Amino acid sequence: MATRKLSLRNCRVGVIGLGYVGLPLAVEFGKHFETLGFDIRPERVVELERGRDSTLEVSRAELKSADRLAYSTKLADLKRCNVFIVTVPTPIDNYKRPDLTPLVKASETVGQVLRKGAVVVYESTVYPGCTEEVCVPILERVSGLKFNEDFYAGYSPERINPGDKEHRLPTIMKVTSGSNPEVAAFVDSLYRSIITAGTHRASSIRVAEAAKVIENTQRDVNIALINELALIFNRLGIDTQEVLEAAGSKWNFLPFRPGLVGGHCIGVDPYYLTHKAQEIGYHPEMILAGRRINDNMGAYVATEILKLMTSKKIHAKGARVLMLGLTFKENCPDLRNSKVVDVIRELEKFGSKVDVYDPWVDGAEARHEYGIRPIREPKARDYDAVVLAVSHREFKEMGVAKIRRFAKSTHVLYDVKQLFARADVDGRL
């Protein structure tokens, strides 16, 4: 069969999509194999060719170390590849349904350059069955080739954690799979060549897809539980953090914390699983309940801030609020699905004027994604309320005293991230 001709010795890898997932992958493969990083954004390719990564996931030195890596936006350049790895985003639409548009377009792109004997590996998060039910038929239609005879497929879910400098691509164990045993072995050996932590070969593509989607679903449900506990303890007048610290004194208590659940994974992936579950006639109650709780936390935080403002006779209408942080997590520029935006929108509904300050954010991206124009630097004594929304190290280094200097004499300081002691702030989640 054709896959016998394909070995690590003659691999020419094409990585489709050079975002938070694709670029680190292209860099690692580019140290070992002839690799092409393909992206539809010319500006992305230009910055990478100049040795700069705006996501801050890969350093200039790391980019330089991938001496067999080239970048392109030209479809023709992909024709020399025989292994294609698709790393495009898989978002949800306004109705919380999977939006497979990027995945479909990427599959059409690969289909145009697919040749006999090639292997297409998907890393994008999907529901079980998506690779073989949605992507493979597109590859067949566009290429005119037959699946598992002329070309083959694999699935190896991404496990990138944006902003994490300790857990990097090579040091995170990788799940692999293939469309037949021989392909599964090839895909596994391909990833083992760059993953020092090792691999876990799943028995099928569907198992690998399911494993990925439940990783973040499990975290989502656990955080939802803690968020619900925070809602209860707030009504009881008990500090949630004190309760969690006390319960955490037992060795097997899981250290989850309440918060805004956004980002490209936890706030999105569960909807892929629930979509598939409902498609086969099952209504997933616990997963969707957790999603409802977490999706409503932005509005809850805004309500708590408004209550504190009212208690200090600060009128919401016309009040100036400083939001410290816009990214979905600390110490990275990733704005995808940031739930800080929900807090901002809710405060604006009550007539408050919100300024956003985030030293990690690209202003043009914030305007494009959310219509928000971050300020360059907050002014002293200018705000009725200050909200610590993201625990960037810059804010931690500022300390409470300096942060309060941004506010008027009568003001509210609310700590979403529990960065400071309860006694040092007016309220916290």
pLDDT tens track for 160-190: 888 888 889 999 999 999 999 999 999 999 9
Exposure string over 390-421, b if 16+ CB within 10 A, otherwise e: bbbebbeebebeebbebbeeebbbbbbbbbbe
Separation of alpha carbons 185 and 203, rounded Å:
11
Q: Which residues contact 406 (CB under 8 A, 6 or more apart)?
A: 322, 378, 379, 380, 381, 382, 383, 386
State which amino acid sits at residue 129: G
- Which of left, alpha, beta for 381 (phi over 0: left; psi -120 to 50: alpha)? left
State yes or no: pLDDT of 131 exceeds 80: yes
pLDDT at residue 162, rounded to an integer: 86
The pTM of this model reads 0.93
Facing residues of 122 across strands? 86, 155
Distance, CA of 350 to chain centre: 30
60, 26 Cβ separation under 8 angstroms: no
In whole angstroms, give the CA distance from residue 23 to residue 289: 35
User: 354 is written with which tokens?
Assistant: 């919100």
Query: What is the average per-residue pLDDT within 79-92?
Result: 96
Contacts of 252 (CB under 8 A, 6+ apart): none
Residue 2 has pLDDT above 50, yes or no: no
Q: What is the pLDDT of residue 327?
A: 97
**Strand 199-201, strand 174-176: pairing:** parallel
Question: What would the pLDDT profile of 351-405 be if each residue is shown by its tens digit?
Answer: 999 999 999 999 999 999 999 999 999 999 999 999 999 999 999 999 999 999 9
Three-state secondary structure readout of 265-325: CCCCHHHHHHHHHHHCCCCCHHHHHHHHHHHCHHHHHHHHHHHHHHHCCCCCCCCEEEEEC
Task: Enumerate the H helices of 144-268 as residue ranges.
Answer: 181-192, 205-236, 240-247
CB burial readout 23-55, b (16+ within 10 A) else e: bbbbbbbbbebbbbbbbbeeebbeebeeeebeb
Q: What are phi and psi of 89, to 5 degrees?
A: -70, 155
pLDDT over 80 at 222, yes or no: yes
Q: What is the pLDDT of residue 265?
A: 87
What does the pLDDT look like over 309-351, one tens digit per residue?
A: 999 999 999 999 999 999 999 999 999 999 999 999 999 999 9
Question: Looking at the annotation, which residues are catalytic?
Answer: 265
pLDDT digits (tens, 9 = 90+) for 235-291: 999 999 999 999 999 999 999 999 999 888 899 999 999 999 999 999 999 999 999
Distances (CA, A) of 416 to 329, 339, 358, 383, 386: 12, 11, 15, 17, 11
pLDDT higher than 70, residue 298 = yes
The amino acid occupying position 74 is: K
Residues 310 and 252: their CA atoms lie apart, in Å, by 41
Computed over every residue of the chain, the mean pLDDT equals 96
User: Which runs of E-coded beta strand occur in 97-207?
Assistant: 119-122, 152-155, 174-176, 199-201
Answer for the pair 340, 262: CB distance below 8 angstroms, yes or no.
yes
Please, which residues have CB within 8 angstroms of residue 301's CB and are 6 or more apart in sequence? Answer: 260, 343, 387, 414, 416, 429
Residue 1 has pLDDT above 50, yes or no: no
Q: Report helix, strand and coil shares of the chain as percent, to nearest 5.
A: 45, 15, 40
Q: 113: which 2 tokens?
A: 């350059």
Output the pLDDT for position 5: 63
